[in-house]
Amino acid sequence: MIGITVLGSTGSIGVSTLDVIAQHPEQYRAVALTANRNVDRLFEQCISHHPEYAVMTDVAAAEQLQQKIQTAGMDIEVFAGVEGLEKVAALPQCDQVMAAIVGAAGLLPTLAAARAGKRVLLANKEALVMSGQLFMDAVREHGAELLPIDSEHNAIFQCMPERFNGLENGGVEQILLTGSGGPFRAVDPAELVNVTPDQACAHPNWVMGRKISVDSATMMNKGLELIEACWLFAAPPEKIQIVVHPQSIIHSMVEYVDGSVLAQMGSPDMRIPIAHSMAWPKRTSSGVKRLNLFDVARLDFERPDDARFPCLRLARAVAEQGGTAAAILNAANEIAVEAFLGEALGFMDISRVIEATLSDVSAQAASSLDIVLQADAAAREVAQQHIDRLTAK
Ligand code: NAD
Ligand code: MG
């Protein structure tokens, strides 16, 4: 029986993970479930999945959950705060950790899973974008396994040689990272000024949390994924080409020196990469509807439009720069997206805030976790100042 801790179990990826676990009760069980402050949802999940531990980051929410669990007479230990998250990421009875917290908040618990030598199922791309080499070193030093959940990186992983040992050794020419282009791929740029959060979150192919949905609309998601791919596959940014593919059927491709291009395809449903990573190197069913190529009928490809999506240019520059630049970009993006979702910032201002923050906060070598966390904090403060200035006008 494989024990799984699901960090961020109440989110979009968390719910899909619990769905796959529930399909294989003889093979997998949820050891611990965690959420930020959604007490009712986490309590419902406790009833249906019987974990040993439940964690709420918010202390008041943890107390409420504790009450409910006690009243229901359930035998579940409740923890609070980031320490609680780190504890359940490192439990001896946990073999795999689904890292599905959104944003920088996931960094410490995801790192704790790596340091405990777990199989880390990485959905929380922001954690890797921020900490880069430090995270990859922790994985190696503690004998952890890192399996990508992001559909593109999972596709690339599946298309890479079996014992991957660097692009060159594997005869890999380049990685083709696909993206749908989001809801505004073909919208007149003049109309983007007045876009609402609900419009930005209406993704054509995927149902996801609100933060990643906005990232998809600005294409910062593809920018973060470019940086994520550099770390996961030890690839310089120039070896990664972004390809817009509106149907989201091909999830990414690997091109070899002999001209072969391998692609992984499937319905746009995150249960595929989740089931793949849980069962790897074996395969298990995911509950996803079979891909019907006759219904798909056609696959289109386009070059990304950097003028329409400035976040792509910013992310590529940051990938080339290295150091804490990626943590600064990520923090500024989180603050700007939050302001946009709270209707305090215009859609087109998201990239402006990020660009201004990157020029104000200077990047350093990311030589320790403290330095990364300081860069994150400094960038949040500066980004907020830019937002205040932009919205005061
Ligand atoms: P979501 O918003 O639906 O869920 C986020 C989860 O994180 C929730 O369980 C929430 O309680 C928890 N959380 C939020 N803030 C927290 C905090 N401060 N402390 C602790 N927990 C906190 O997000 P999602 O769409 O499931 O995405 C999760 C991660 O997976 C993101 O990093 C995203 O980029 C990545 N991802 C998601 C998808 C997708 O299809 N949804 C695809 C690829 C990658
Ligand atoms: Mg993705």
pLDDT digits (tens, 9 = 90+) for 273-305: 999 999 999 999 999 999 999 999 999 999 999
Three-state DSSP at 31 gives: strand
CA 169 – ligand 1 centroid, Å:
35
- Give the per-residue pLDDT at 376: 98
- Give the per-residue pLDDT at 190: 86
The average pLDDT across 325-352 equals 97
Rounded Cα–Cα distance for residues 181 and 187 (Å): 11
Which ligand is closest in space to the CA of residue 212?
1
CA 8 – ligand 2 centroid, Å:
17
Rounded Cα–Cα distance for residues 164 and 157 (Å): 9
Q: Which of 42, 46, 102 to mutate to test the pocket of ligand 1 (most atoms within 8 A of CB)?
A: 102
Ligand 1, atom 22, residue with closest C-alpha: 36
Who's near 264: CB < 8 A, 6+ residues apart? 154, 155, 156, 158, 159, 250, 251, 252, 253
Q: Which of 10, 212, 215 to mutate to test the pocket of ligand 1 (most atoms within 8 A of CB)?
A: 212
Rounded Cα–Cα distance for residues 348 and 357 (Å): 15
End-to-end CA gap in the chain: 59
pLDDT exceeds cutoff 90 at 325: yes
pLDDT tens per residue, range 179-193: 999 999 989 888 888
Q: What angle do CA 242, 248, 251 make, to 5 degrees?
A: 60
Sequence-distant contacts of 354-358: CB under 8 A, at least 24 apart: 354/220, 354/311, 354/314, 354/329, 354/383, 355/310, 355/314, 356/382, 356/383, 356/386, 357/328, 357/329, 357/331, 357/332, 357/382, 357/383, 357/386, 358/314, 358/318, 358/325, 358/328, 358/329, 358/332
- pLDDT above 70 covers a percentage of the chain that reads 100
Please give the structure tokens belonging to residue 81: 């705060």
pLDDT tens per residue, range 136-169: 999 999 999 999 999 999 999 999 998 899 999 9
Question: Using only C-alpha atoms, what is the Rg of the chain?
Answer: 20
pLDDT tens per residue, range 57-79: 999 999 999 999 999 999 999 99
CA 254 – ligand 1 centroid, Å:
27
CA 59 – ligand 1 centroid, Å:
19
Closest CA to 278 of 104, 17, 78, 77: 17
How high is the mean pLDDT of the chain? 97
Which ligand is closest in space to the CA of residue 45?
1
DSSP letter assigned to residue 130: H
pLDDT exceeds cutoff 80 at 19: yes
pLDDT exceeds cutoff 70 at 393: no
Q: How confident is the model at residue 21 (pLDDT cuts 50, 70, 90)?
A: very high
pLDDT exceeds cutoff 70 at 31: yes
Q: Which of 55, 101, 180 to mutate to test the pocket of ligand 1 (most atoms within 8 A of CB)?
A: 101
Half-sphere exposure of 228 (CA within 13 A, CB side): 26
| Residue ranges around ligand 1 (CB below 6 Å) | 8-14, 35-36, 38, 57, 100-102, 105, 123-126, 150, 206, 208-209, 211-212, 270
Which ligand is closest in space to the CA of residue 268?
1
Q: Is the distance from CB of 142 to CB of 196 less than 8 angstroms?
A: no
Q: Which residues surround ligand 2, an ion (CB under 5 A)?
A: 150-152
Rounded Cα–Cα distance for residues 212 and 233 (Å): 22
Closest CA to 53 of 73, 37, 69, 36: 69
CB burial of 215-239 (b: ≥16 within 10 Å; e: otherwise) equals bbbbbbbbbbbbbbbbbbbebebeb
CA 151 – ligand 2 centroid, Å:
5
Closest CA to 309 of 200, 181, 128, 209: 181
Lowest mean pLDDT among 182-191, 222-231, 275-284, 350-359: 182-191
Ligand 1, atom 39, residue with closest C-alpha: 208
Q: Is the distance from CB of 244 to CB of 181 less than 8 angstroms?
A: yes
DSSP letter assigned to residue 302: B
Residue type, 52: E
Q: What is the 3-state secondary structure (H, E, C) of 39-95?
A: HHHHHHHHHHHCCCEEEECCHHHHHHHHHHHHHCCCCCEEEEHHHHHHHHHCCCCCC
Please give the structure tokens belonging to residue 205: 């192919």
Which ligand is closest in space to the CA of residue 213?
1
Between 174 and 191, whose confidence is greater?
174
CA 225 – ligand 2 centroid, Å:
7
- Give the per-residue pLDDT at 145: 98
pLDDT exceeds cutoff 90 at 105: yes
Please give the structure tokens belonging to residue 207: 């149902």
Rounded Cα–Cα distance for residues 205 and 246 (Å): 9
Lowest mean pLDDT among 23-32, 36-45, 182-191, 382-391: 182-191
CA 342 – ligand 2 centroid, Å:
24
CA 152 – ligand 2 centroid, Å:
5
Closest CA to 310 of 334, 340, 333: 333
Rounded Cα–Cα distance for residues 199 and 177 (Å): 25
